[in-house]
Amino acid sequence: MIDLKRVRENPEAVRESQRARGEDPSLVDELLAADEARRAAIQKADELRSEQKAFGKKIGQAAPEDRPALLEGSNELKARVKEAQAAKAEAQEKLEKLQYSIANIIEGAPAGGEEDFVVLEHVGEVPEFDFEVKDHLDLAEPLGIIDMKRGTKVGGARFYYLAGDGAWLQLGMLMLAAQKAREAGFTLMVPPVLVRPDVMQGTGFLDAHDEEIYYLERDDMYLVGTSEVALAGLHQDEIIDLSDGPLLYAGWSSCFRREAGSYGKDTKGILRVHQFDKLEMFAYCKPEDAEEIHQKLLGLERDMLAAVEVPYRIIDVAAGDLGSSAARKFDTEAWVPSQGTYRELTSTSNCTTFQARRLHTRYRDADGKTQTAATLNGTLATTRWLVAILENNQQADGSVRVPEALRPWLGKEVLTP
């Protein structure tokens, strides 16, 4: 939820943010009008309540013979107060609906849509092969580490089994990420994968991505697509202590996505699947520290990608491709040899105060006043990484070299068919 005070003070900046996202700038004017209407409704309700209170005193002091007429006037005033309270509630509801309809105000993101990202940096050398390149599934099946056929038999399309060294490869990658997160001051968490609607709504995922989310109607609960959701809800309705610096968490969980609308895209292998594991970083901090924390999360992603030995690029995601809660997002995209292009492996987003305002997560400033916290998130490892690891480390005989940092968990240097 955007800061209403900020909208009042600089509405044009919010309109420009809407334009950059490709969204309707007139919503800003509707919001301001709704804000005026709400304030007028509050004033009128307060005035009538004061009048009612004064009238009540007048009745109490009146002579017995005068009270019937006064009571009749009191009933009329009571009805007017009730109407004013209803108008106040209606105005508040309309205001909140408009607040929820406007995405976070971008901070430095380039304007445009999905194709308008800006490449910030290329890291690592794209490998050159003197043999015919195989995709990750053609490598994995002879190795016996990914079984799509039986995954589909049991769970349907886009489900799979990780077996043997495939399971160890993922576990090793996630353990390495967990160790790096702990060394960087993050508290490791295994959070719930089912959350209540108010938590899912609070993170912004129901704004434009509700079709991607699994909903359990019988229980009125949602399966998370990222542990960001549960970690954002961790301090819902709390005043947290940021006096010693940000609160840093790393959530390890299974994640679930319906992949609605993506049929025909990346149906082979594990690029787009319904269930995967992920280690997600999450930070609560003071708003003025958010940009610095954002760079810290990106730096940890860099470190992790270097450890698994894949070439990648960093992009500044365009405003129109941001989720509603993100003010800015950097993606790291690994080179996928079989496709001859870069594909997203991680992202890190600065959500400023957008999520915490919805979830009522605050902190006390130096003067003891409560302020809304900022939140940030970033992926440190996920199942999709196996695609880049396998393809970039393949050898002519179909074997795959294991990145050195992952060898302790697999107990071998090469995966052999």
Res 52: pLDDT? 72
Distances in Å between the Cα of 250 and the Cα atoms of 76, 183, 203, 247, 356 are 59, 11, 17, 10, 18
- Averaged pLDDT, 192-217: 91
15: left (phi over 0), alpha (psi -120 to 50) or beta: alpha
Closest C-alpha to 270, from 348, 156, 385, 164: 385
- Does residue 259 have a known ligand-binding role? yes
Residues taking part in catalysis:
257, 272, 344, 347, 384
391 is known to lie in a ligand binding site: no
Minimum mean pLDDT range among 196-210, 312-326, 391-405? 196-210
Q: Which pLDDT band, with edges at 50, 70 and 90, does 58 fall under?
A: low
What would the pLDDT profile of 271-283 be if each residue is shown by its tens digit? Answer: 999 999 999 999 9
**347 annotated to a ligand binding site:** yes
pLDDT of residue 380: 97
In order of 176, 187, 244, 250, the CA distances from 183 in angstroms are 11, 10, 17, 11
User: pLDDT by residue (tens digit) across 61-115?
Assistant: 555 656 566 556 566 777 787 888 899 999 999 999 999 999 999 999 999 999 9
Q: Which two tokens stand for residue 235?
A: 């301090």
* Average pLDDT along the chain: 92
Report whether 280 belongs to an annotated binding site.
yes
74 marked as binding residue: no
In this structure, are residues 257 and 212 in contact, taking their beta carbons and an 8 Å threshold?
A: yes
Q: Is 345 annotated as a binding residue?
A: yes
Whether 92 has a binding-site annotation, put simply, is no
In the chain, the amino acid numbered 150 is R
Any known ligand binding at 371? Answer: no
Instruction: Please tell me which residue, 313 or 67, carries the higher pLDDT value.
Output: 313
Least confident of 20-34, 38-52, 100-114, 153-167: 38-52
Q: Give the bridge partners for 181, in sequence order.
A: none
- As a whole number, mean pLDDT of residues 297-309 equals 97
What pLDDT digit, counting tens, does each position of 235-249 carry?
A: 999 999 999 999 999
Distance set, CA 5 to CA 152, 256, 374 (Å): 51, 36, 16
* Residue 183 confidence (pLDDT): 97
Determine if residue 330 is labeled as part of a ligand binding site.
no
Are β-strands 374-382 and 194-195 bridged in parallel, bridged antiparallel, or unpaired? unpaired
Whole-number Å distance between alpha carbons of 324 and 73: 50
Of 104, 107, 106, 109, the C-alpha closest to 2 is: 104
Q: Which amino acid makes up residue 64?
A: P
Q: What is the C-alpha separation between 1 and 356, in angstroms, rounded? A: 8
38 is in an annotated binding site: no
The CA-to-CA distance between both ends of the chain, in Å, stands at 52
Task: Put residue 264 in one of left, alpha, beta given phi > 0 → left and psi -120 to 50 → alpha.
Answer: left
Residue type, 316: D
Q: What is the pLDDT of residue 259?
A: 86
pLDDT at 352 over 70: yes
Residue 257 assigned ligand-binding role: yes
Cβ contacts of 168 within 8 Å, gap of 6 or more: 409, 410
Q: Is 273 annotated as a binding residue?
A: yes
How far apart CA 53 and CA 354 sit, in angstroms, is: 39
For residue 379, say whether it is annotated as part of any ligand binding site: yes
pLDDT tier for residue 55 given thresholds of 50, 70 and 90: low
